[in-house]
Every structure is written in structure tokens, then in C-alpha cells.
Amino acid sequence: MKIGKLAARSGVSVRALRYYEERGVLVPDRTPSGYRVFTPADVRRVAHIQTLLAAGLRMQLIREILTCLSGESLLLDECRERLAAERRRISGDIDRLIRTRSLLDDLLAGGHSGT
């Protein structure tokens, strides 16, 4: 399928798909005349990219994670520690956000006088 069809199927703009290709996370085949050709598997790949971006991951890490995927979602052993480290980082971020939300809740409830 061409890029416009992938955009329609994935719900992602053509511009974003070109950016993903530029960053190396989406690698289409090319026709002899240079047109990009995508497969149905690329729809799933774009969905993975979108999920990882929404989680706040950088493109470099997304490229690493996508390299670790084989088939549906089988992780290669050498990728596990890198992914575990990223999970720990995200968990720490979540913990900090929860503490911050709790502080804001206290302030909104009048629990602190500010002095």
C-alpha cells in the first residue's frame, strides 16, 4: 500500500509517517520509481510507535524497542535490560507525579497555609 493508504488505515498523517521514516522507525520498501510501499504489518508498527510516543519515549529508544520486537511482540533477550531500565524510569516519573498531585490536592483542600 502507498503512504496515503497507510495514513488512512493508521490514523496518522502522511507528514508523521515521513518523519518516522526519516528517524528510522518505519522502513518501507520502494518501487523502482521511488514510491514508498508499506505492508499491513506497518499498520501495527505505526500503532506501536504511537503508543510509545504517547508514553513519552524518545525516537532513539523507540527505534531500539522496535528492533527488539519480533513477530507480534517477542522480546529478544539482549533487549530486556534496556526495556526494564526504561520501565523503572517511567515508574519513577509516575511516583513523582503522584506525589506532586497529592501536594496540589492538599493545597487545594487548604491543608497548607503557605507559611
Burial class (CB in 10 A: 0-12, 13-18, 19+), 18: middle
Cell of 45: 508498527
pTM across the whole model: 0.71
For 93, residues 6+ apart whose C-beta sits below 8 A from its C-beta are 56
Q: Which residue has the cell 503512504?
A: 3
| The pLDDT of residue 81 | 81
CATH value at residue 45: 1.10.1660.10
| The pLDDT of residue 20 | 96
Give, in order, the Cα–Cα distances in Å from 90 to each of 56, 80, 84, 99, 104: 9, 15, 10, 14, 21
Work out the angle at residue 65's Cα, subtended by the Cα atoms of residues 74 and 25, and round it to the nearest 5 degrees. 115
| The pLDDT of residue 114 | 52
71/81 same-domain check:
no
Q: Which residue has the cell 524518545?
A: 58
| The pLDDT of residue 71 | 47
Give the mean pLDDT per block of 10 residues along the chain (115 residues): 95 96 93 93 94 89 80 61 86 95 93 56
60/92 same-domain check:
no
pLDDT tens for each residue of 67-90: 877 544 455 666 778 888 888 988
24/69 same-domain check:
yes
Q: Which domain holds residue 43?
A: 1-75
Q: Which residue has the cell 497548607?
A: 112
